[in-house]
């Protein structure tokens, strides 16, 4: 398999390694979540991402990765598209896992999950939620990102799904726009800050936006 060919993966450690390396660099949401200079910042970000990714993979989510795991994209069914709806016990266990692994960042990690959940649009046509996507800093400039997004488009067509995501920066929003996503609704404001996420959506094939 070539480096930038893609596959699905359940290698939690490798997935979290790439996400942590990518988001630690200069992501405004992560800078709000765990401010630069926080002692053991990487440890707490890794703990949060591990809890989140594990929860998604355990509940119908899929991780698409490049062969060397230098590029990662994780998507999950929309709330209405799940085969097995999440229970209150599932969600409580997830929040407890976050609380146990994020130390002083616990409050904001929980606030982020709450903001994403409470602002999730419930009336969109059938779609998947692209929750996390990143390329390891050492793989920037390769075709890893293109390989992942090409596979995402292929899956969307084969499954007859649209896509929803929350872009964590203007740069990321512009990247998603190049794939045909459009900004929808109001930005998601994070507490006690001027940091926002941008909700974006592309309808299923053949459905007008």
Per-residue pLDDT of the chain (209 residues; tens, 9 = 90+): 555 689 999 999 999 999 999 999 889 999 999 999 999 999 999 999 999 999 999 999 999 999 999 999 999 999 999 999 999 999 999 999 999 999 999 999 999 999 999 999 999 999 999 999 999 999 887 889 899 999 999 999 999 999 999 999 999 999 999 999 999 999 999 999 999 999 999 999 877 65
**Residue 2 half-sphere exposure, CB side, CA atoms within 13 Å?**
6
**DSSP assignment, residue 8?**
E
Identify whether the C-beta of residue 191 lies closer than 8 Å to the C-beta of residue 111. yes
The residues spanned by each domain of the chain are 6-202
Pick the CATH number of 6-202 from 3.90.79.10, 3.40.50.10440, 3.30.360.10, 3.40.630.30: 3.40.630.30
What pTM value is reported for the model? 0.94
* Closest residue by Cα to residue 119 from 187, 64, 63: 187
């Amino acid at each position: 398999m070539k480096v930038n060919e893609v596959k699905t993966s359940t290698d939690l450690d490798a997935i979290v390694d790439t996400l942590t390396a990518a988001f630690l660099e200069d992501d405004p949401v992560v800078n709000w979540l765990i401010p630069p200079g926080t002692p053991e910042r990487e440890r707490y970000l890794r703990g949060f991402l591990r809890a989140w990714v594990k929860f998604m993979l355990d509940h119908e989510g899929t991780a698409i990765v490049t062969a060397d795991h230098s590029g990662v994209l994780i998507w999950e069914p929309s709330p209405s598209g799940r085969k097995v709806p999440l229970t209150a016990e599932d969600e409580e266990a997830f929040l407890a896992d976050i609380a146990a692994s994020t130390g002083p960042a616990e409050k904001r990690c929980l606030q982020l999950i709450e903001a994403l959940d409470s602002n999730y649009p419930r009336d969109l046509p059938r779609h998947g939620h692209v929750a996390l996507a990143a390329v390891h800093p050492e793989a920037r400039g390769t075709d890893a990102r293109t390989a992942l997004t090409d596979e995402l488009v292929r899956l969307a067509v084969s499954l007859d799904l649209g896509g929803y995501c929350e872009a964590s920066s203007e740069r990321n929003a512009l990247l998603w726009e190049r794939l045909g996503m459009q900004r929808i609704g109001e930005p998601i404001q994070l507490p006690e800050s001027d940091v926002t996420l941008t909700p974006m959506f592309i309808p299923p094939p053949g459905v007008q936006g």
